[in-house]
Amino acid sequence: MKWLPTIARLALLALLVAFVTSPGWFEPLLKPLTENNAPAIYNQGSLLTLTLLHLRTVAIATLAAIVVAVGLAILVTRPFGAEFLPLSRSLVNIGQTFPPVAVLALAVPAVGFGEKPTLIALFLYGLLPIFENALTGLTTLPANVVEAARGAGMTPAQRLVKVELPLALPVMLAGVRLSVVISLATATIGSTVAAKTLGEVIIAGLLSNNLAFVLQGGLIVAAIAVLIHDGFLALERMAARRMGRER
């Protein structure tokens, strides 16, 4: 029965692709949720385009957060950068201190409406889980392996690239997974500042009291989150097996 979860994920992926590419097929299922002969399928834009733009926004913000958070984690785990740990923790906690809506409100006057304020909010919100997991991964390495690398004559840079980062990768991926899932949901509020995300569908449903719009926007985001979460879990297990650090 081990293959059942895989079949379920493939079925969910197939349904997601079918819905965003041919939403009209599902209109009979959503029609009972509408009132006054309102459209059951979002008709103010392409669901496929909005989905791709939503994913692009999340991907850009996550990549930026990975670069900064992992860079800070590497810095504070080096002898010359240990004193910056409290400052680094304060910096990555900024996104968790302010709600995303507040970040959007502060960013709009500076960068204008559209995707940019959403990217700023997602970037700040995604720093903490990536930083903390990278820090944990780099500070819980097997001491005997690190000592063996040092004894083999590796330079600090070589140990970092060839030993420390690969060993810490499973834990770091867990932080990225958490950050991505949070960002997928948080990105929906970007539509309040004219960013092109799936939040546009949900907001349109709320404004017109159309439950079908709200449901389809929410279900697409949820399905993507589940698939990406499971994908990262598989990557974590694969990395852990390769490094001999299975939990």
**Which position has the token pair 């820090």?**
135
d(CA 96, CA 101): 12
By the 8 A CB rule, do 146 and 198 touch? no
Smallest CA-to-CA distance from 59 within 234, 192, 197 is with: 197
Please give the pLDDT value at position 172. 95
d(CA 244, CA 32): 53
Smallest CA-to-CA distance from 149 within 165, 163, 130, 166 is with: 163
d(CA 208, CA 45): 16
Q: How far is CA 244 from CA 169, 177, 240, in A?
A: 12, 21, 6
Domains of the chain: 46-243 (1.10.3720.10)
By the 8 A CB rule, do 227 and 13 touch? yes
**Which position has the token pair 């949900």?**
202
Stretches where the chain sits below pLDDT 50 are 247
Smallest CA-to-CA distance from 31 within 208, 213, 169, 171 is with: 213
